């Protein structure tokens, strides 16, 4: 039994967003179906090897991109990854750019987030169990630094990489209005997406290090001369971006496995205000 359990665990998970529905370089693949108290995850989780390291791969929108950003079962996804023993999550996500210097095909590793979502359950707590984890640094700084290094070491020809950016998460599934896009720019947000919240919050509550590799597909709709985002436009750039993302991920996995970086997330609950056990019924 221990052997079976050992093969059904992974330190590192990749959550693949729009455009990254599978990792072509995964070998020795096996699919696991996991049920959680929060229902089924977006899809079966694929365990496989990348650079000789076991990783868990989960496609955020499910097979055939069936789930809207609001429908993604964020709690089930994080719970299922925790069940596999995951300690590091690399979130790969398509984003729009809110700043002129962040261009389509660039990659951004954000360090801050603004949660503008409206209808998602964003905590594992409640019903008598209370904890307030810190979200001051919503993305793991050590993992984010490693992702930036992975980009620099990977052989990427098109685009450049940026770090220290703010990701604003909207509910979607519609793109923003021009007024909203302008407002997010005034908030000093740099990139815009629909999925990394509450994913980052839930990962933090689960004490899993979480960082994002954001792939820029468009200029949203604020830019005076660039065309406003449409699904067609974003998808065209996504396809180009997915190959580059896989190169960065391969390098990142090798670095994570070699360094096992210490994360502020790993003791998130130790520093949170938690309901004393004897106060729970
Ligand atoms: N994902 C990709 N481009 C986006 C945009 N402009 N707004 C929100 N999510 C996105």
Q: Which atom of ligand 1 is nearest to the CA of 229?
A: 6
Query: What is the rounded distance in angstroms from the CA atom of residue 152 to the CA atom of residue 22?
Result: 23
The mean pLDDT of 186-190, rounded to a whole number, is: 98
Query: What is the rounded distance in angstroms from the CA atom of residue 54 to the CA atom of residue 212?
Result: 20
pLDDT at 275 over 80: no
Instruction: Give, rounded to a whole angstrom, the gap between the first and last alpha carbons of the chain.
Output: 34
The mean pLDDT of 14-27, rounded to a whole number, is: 86
Q: 4 CA distance to ligand 1 centroid (A)?
A: 40
User: What integer pLDDT is reported at residue 73 of this predicted model?
Assistant: 98
Find the angle CA(198)-CA(13)-CA(274) to the nearest 5 degrees: 45
pLDDT at 281 over 90: no
C-beta 194 within 6 A of ligand 1: yes
pLDDT at 91 over 90: yes
If you write DSSP's letter for every residue of 105-142 in order, what string do you get?
T-EEE-SEEEEE--S----S-BTTB-EE---SS-S-HH
For the chain, give the mean pLDDT: 92
Reported ipTM: 0.99
The mean pLDDT of 84-100, rounded to a whole number, is: 97
Give tens-digit pLDDT for 229-267. Answer: 888 888 888 888 888 899 999 999 999 999 999 999 999
Single out the residue of 89, 59, 92 nearest to residue 206, CA to CA.
Answer: 89
Q: Which residue would you say has higher pLDDT here, 24 or 195?
A: 195
Q: Which residue would you say has higher pLDDT here, 128 or 79?
A: 79
Q: Name the residue with the closest Cα to ligand 1, atom 5.
A: 96
Query: What tokens does 1 get?
Result: 């039994």
pLDDT at 2 over 70: no
User: What integer pLDDT is reported at residue 231 of this predicted model?
Assistant: 82
pLDDT at 25 over 70: yes
Query: What tokens does 35 get?
Result: 């049920």
Give tens-digit pLDDT for 33-77. Answer: 999 999 999 999 999 999 899 999 999 999 888 999 999 999 999
User: What integer pLDDT is reported at residue 3 of this predicted model?
Assistant: 53
What pTM does this model have? 0.94
Percent helix, percent strand, percent coil in the chain, to nearest 5? 30, 25, 45
Give tens-digit pLDDT for 210-235. Answer: 999 999 999 999 999 988 988 888 88
Q: 56 CA distance to ligand 1 centroid (A)?
A: 25
Q: Which atom of ligand 1 is nearest to the CA of 194?
A: 9
C-beta 195 within 6 A of ligand 1: no
Q: 171 CA distance to ligand 1 centroid (A)?
A: 11
Question: Is the separation of the CB atoms in 143 and 209 below 8 Å?
Answer: yes
- CB-neighbour burial class of residue 123 (10 A; exposed 0-12, middle 13-18, buried 19+): middle
């Amino acid at each position: 039994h221990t052997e079976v359990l050992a093969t059904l665990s992974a330190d590192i998970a990749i959550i693949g967003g729009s455009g990254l529905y599978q990792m072509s370089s995964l070998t020795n693949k096996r699919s696991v179906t996991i049920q959680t108290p929060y229902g089924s995850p977006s899809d079966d989780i694929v365990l496989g090897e990348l650079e000789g390291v076991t990783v868990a791969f989960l496609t955020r929108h499910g097979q055939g991109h069936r789930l809207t950003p609001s429908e993604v079962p964020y709690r089930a996804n994080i719970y299922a990854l925790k069940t596999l023993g995951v300690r590091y999550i690399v979130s790969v996500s398509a984003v729009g750019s809110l700043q002129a210097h962040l261009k389509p095909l660039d990659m951004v590793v954000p360090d801050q987030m603004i949660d503008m979502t409206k209808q998602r359950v964003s905590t594992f707590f409640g019903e008598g169990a209370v904890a307030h984890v810190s979200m001051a640094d919503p993305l793991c700084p050590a993992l984010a630094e490693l992702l930036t290094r992975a980009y620099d070491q990977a052989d990427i020809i098109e685009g450049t990489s940026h770090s220290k950016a703010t990701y604003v998460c909207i509910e979607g599934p519609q793109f923003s209005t021009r007024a909203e896009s302008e407002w997010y720019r005034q908030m000093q947000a740099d990139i815009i997406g629909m999925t990394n919240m509450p994913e980052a919050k839930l990962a933090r509550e689960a004490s899993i290090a979480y960082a994002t590799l954001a792939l820029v597909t468009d200029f949203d709709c604020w830019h005076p001369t660039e065309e406003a985002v449409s699904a067609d436009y974003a998808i065209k750039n996504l396809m180009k971006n997915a190959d580059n993302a896989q190169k960065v991920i391969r390098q990142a996995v090798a670095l994570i496995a070699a360094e096992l970086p210490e994360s502020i997330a790993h003791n998130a609950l130790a520093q949170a205000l938690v309901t004393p056990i004897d106060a729970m019924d």
